[in-house]
Amino acid sequence: MINQSIKTLIKQNIDEMIAFRRDLHRHPELPWEEFRTTDKIAAELDKIGIPYRRTEPTGIIADINGGKPGKRILLRADIDALPVQELNQHIDYKSTIDGKMHACGHDTHASMLLTAAKALWAIRDQLKGNVRLVFQPAEEIAQGAKGMIKQGVLEGVDSAFGMHIWSQMPVGKVSCVVGSSFASADLLTVRFKGKGGHGSMPHDTVDAVMVASAFVMNVQSIVSREVSPLDPAVVTIGRMDVGTRFNVIAENAVLEGTVRCFNIAVRDKIEEAIRRYANQVAAMYRATAEVEYIYGTLPVINDNESALLAQKVIVESFGEDALYFEHPTTGGEDFSYYTENIPGAFALVGSGNPQKDTKWPHHHGCFNVDEDGMALGAEFYAQYAWVYLNQN
């Protein structure tokens, strides 16, 4: 099933792949600001000879047309970094930009997909169909996939495949589970308005601190009492802005949080409950409430056929021991917008290695990857495309 030429070509390009990744790591760029990154990827595609077009304002869509007719598979890598201060001191490729860092591994994704592209280009005459390469910006703010879709990235695409380097999984392991993979990720803001006053005269006020505190304590019962225990869900209030001075009773409170789940019906139920709780708690204290609920990413749900195909590729490419079944994560991924209307799968490639200090969580200032795992990721991209296009 797998293509041995792909395996050989990936091995030949490992050093270049790592060097490219380290260059991106030194020069991280935030969402919608990935201009240098886009230029570097474009330069590499020019060297290979793969035709491409730039998307606005950043990002690239490239196409490898096979020598035989067939379907079109989309391979996606995200390219943006995070506003995180790098804390790694023992690497010579740490971020050169204060307050910005590739703390989620998107530098590896871009590098692995470029390396896979080299292999697929070399065997393009053997492909029964076409491969679309997507270097996507702005994943971290859940806007990049939507932007690419508006610019036609899904036109003529039959299936989509993506992956994420994963520090919580051992290096050498690869996972692609059937069903839920990543959760939906929504944002919420609740504004309470009371009546301020002197801290010594609470009877003349409506204390926004009391309202906000009551809401935070009670809103957790939505998950524990209104959502089935068989449907995982998270409601987190991560920020409260309330009060101005120690002896002033607050008139306003602003709370921000996130909701995560794997089922759209559950998401709708939680949103309704949050609005109800906010309004009822406010009324109890004679305050008013305003809720802003913003839909972030959809849940990433791997369809059965795509996930099982990925598992076969893992076993045949890397051996039975490489196949890993990672639990679904309540992290968000805007890859979900690619598979909203077409089949596809999203995989995880292990990079955790305590001996190399690469088990830090994603988005941490000490995050790093065991680069030995990148060869698996690059080959997985290419082998999956090969197998998908050449299956009966």
Residues in binding site for Mn(2+): 104, 106, 140, 164, 363
Cα separation of 227 and 383, whole Å?
Answer: 40
Helix (H), strand (E) at residue 166: strand 159-170
Long-range CB contacts (within 8 A, 24+) of 315-319: 316/1, 316/2, 316/383, 317/2, 317/7, 317/379, 317/380, 317/383, 318/172, 318/174, 318/376, 318/379
The string of DSSP letters for 295-349 reads EEEPPEEE-HHHHHHHHHHHHHHH-GGGEE-PPPBS---GGGGTTSSS-EEEEEE
Beta bridge partners of 257: 188, 237
The yes-or-no answer on residue 272 being catalytic is no
| Residues in CB range of 354: below 8 A, 6 or more apart | none
Q: Could you say which of 139, 207, 334, 371 is catalytic?
A: 139
Do residues 264 and 298 make contact, with C-beta atoms less than 8 angstroms apart? Answer: yes
The yes-or-no answer on residue 139 being catalytic is yes
How far from 214 is each of 15, 195, 352, 376, CA to CA, in Å? 56, 16, 40, 49
Cα separation of 225 and 291, whole Å?
Answer: 21
**48 burial via Cβ count (<10 Å: 0-12, 13-18, 19+):** middle
Cα separation of 332 and 377, whole Å?
Answer: 20
Q: Could you say which of 29, 78, 80, 86 is catalytic?
A: 80
Cα separation of 123 and 66, whole Å?
Answer: 8
Buried b (16+ CB within 10 A) or exposed e, 367-381: bbbbbbbbbbbbbbb
| Residues in CB range of 24: below 8 A, 6 or more apart | 37, 40, 79, 102, 107, 110, 111
Residues placed in the known binding site: 104, 106, 140, 164, 363
Residues marked active site are found at 80, 139
